[in-house]
């Protein structure tokens, strides 16, 4: 793992606009901090999607129009907090399905499986740790239909071209008739969005600084956290929230494990995350562009968020 991600991280820190891919947030420590973010009062995304999956599980099942059994494959399962309500409904109705949670964090998968076995002992669960696409390739040869879950507005972390490429990869690894339930954070009052991503308690800042701690832990780097700050900005015109780490002084960081030095200027930015917000029409355009048909949008009561059902 280390040998593959060191070059990618260092490469991102050597370019003119420094960046670290948001996929590196989610080591075990980062996954734990993200659980704190999801519990913050101003972080409306969790409650909005939880409402959808809690109150509209029956509608989602009806919209699937699957013969049984089928697979529910969750990409980036995390702690499974929101998905639990959907699974609970399906189990309570004796619907025959297999739940396949996929995550890159072994700790997250282990905790999820332990919790689900306690709370839903009748659930058929086949946990997987690793890369989405390697696992999906193996499952695409099966004959039973699949419902892929890509929840939590994860698609918002990708630039448009990258999002389209990712969704085409999903499509390529799905069978005709398979469904994708995908979460999108919708455009809304800019102040609501800004407060969700720039919290006054500093949890999101700690989440970003954990990227530097991770490099210190895993790659013998010598980042000093007090020499970096956090900043984020929402642009309502294009729907993009961008997050950054800010170097507070001229400094050089040494990666001992690969004998590499990276220099930062005072106030230089490291771009760490994109969180894009969509309109409903933009969602439907993206679906069509990537080979999907939009079947239905499931929105929360405030219309802050949608879990949209697409079909290959």
State the total domains in the chain.
2
Residue 21: CB partners within 8 Å, gap ≥ 6?
8, 9, 12
Give the least confident one: 137-146, 157-166, 303-312. Answer: 137-146
Do 269 and 295 belong to one domain?
no
Does residue 31 form part of some domain? Answer: no
The separation between CA 81 and the C-alpha centre of its own chain, rounded to angstroms, equals 14
Task: Round the CA-based radius of gyration of the chain to a whole number and report it.
Answer: 20
pLDDT of 1 > 60? The answer is no
Give the domain range for residue 202: 2-25+191-276
Does residue 37 form part of some domain? Answer: no
Q: What angle do CA 26, 32, 34 make, to 5 degrees?
A: 70
The string of pLDDT tens digits covering residues 192-218 is 999 999 999 999 999 999 999 999 998
Do 48 and 163 belong to one domain?
yes
The string of pLDDT tens digits covering residues 209-253 is 999 999 999 889 999 999 999 999 999 999 999 999 999 999 999
Does residue 76 form part of some domain? Answer: yes
Does residue 258 form part of some domain? Answer: yes
Do 79 and 145 belong to one domain?
yes
Do 155 and 291 belong to one domain?
yes
Does residue 162 form part of some domain? Answer: yes
Do 166 and 20 belong to one domain?
no
**Tokens (6 digits) for 168:** 């085409």
The string of pLDDT tens digits covering residues 253-262 is 999 988 999 9
Do 201 and 146 belong to one domain?
no
Residue 156: CB partners within 8 Å, gap ≥ 6?
184, 185, 274, 275, 276, 277, 278
Q: Is 202 buried (19+), middle (13-18) or exposed (0-12) by CB count in 10 A?
A: exposed
Does residue 213 form part of some domain? Answer: yes
Query: Of 128, 149, 135, nearest to 72 (Cα)?
Result: 149
For the question of whether the overall pTM of this predicted structure is more than 0.85, the answer is yes
């Amino acid at each position: 793992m280390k040998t593959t991600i060191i070059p990618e991280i260092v490469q991102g820190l050597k370019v003119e606009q420094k960046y670290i891919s948001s996929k590196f947030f989610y080591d075990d420590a980062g996954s734990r901090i993200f659980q704190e973010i999801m519990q913050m009062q101003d972080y409306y995304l969790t409650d909005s999607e939880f409402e959808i999956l809690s109150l509209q599980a029956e509608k989602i099942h009806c919209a699937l129009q699957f013969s049984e059994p089928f697979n529910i494959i969750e990409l980036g399962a995390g702690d499974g907090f929101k998905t639990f309500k959907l699974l609970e409904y399906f189990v309570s109705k004796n619907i025959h399905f297999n739940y396949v949670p996929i995550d890159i964090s072994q700790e997250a998968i282990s905790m999820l499986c332990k919790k689900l076995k306690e709370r839903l002992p009748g659930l058929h669960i086949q946990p997987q740790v690793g890369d989405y696409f390697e696992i999906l390739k193996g499952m695409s040869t099966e004959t039973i239909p699949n419902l892929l879950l890509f929840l939590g507005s994860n698609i918002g972390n990708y630039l448009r071209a990258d999002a389209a490429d990712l969704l085409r990869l999903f499509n390529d690894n799905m069978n005709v008739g398979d469904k994708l339930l995908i979460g999108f954070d919708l455009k809304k009052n800019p102040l609501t969005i800004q407060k969700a991503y720039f919290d006054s308690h500093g949890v999101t800042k700690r989440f970003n600084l954990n990227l530097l701690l991770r490099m210190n832990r895993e790659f013998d780097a010598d980042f000093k956290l007090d020499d970096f700050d956090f900043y984020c900005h929402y642009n309502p015109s294009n729907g993009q929230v961008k997050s950054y780490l800010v170097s507070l002084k001229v400094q050089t960081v040494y990666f001992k494990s690969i004998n590499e030095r990276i220099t930062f200027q005072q106030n230089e930015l490291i771009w760490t995350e994109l969180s894009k917000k969509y309109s409903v029409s933009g969602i439907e355009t993206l679906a069509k562009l990537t080979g999907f048909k939009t079947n239905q949008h499931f929105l929360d009561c405030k219309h802050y968020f949608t879990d949209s059902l697409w079909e290959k």
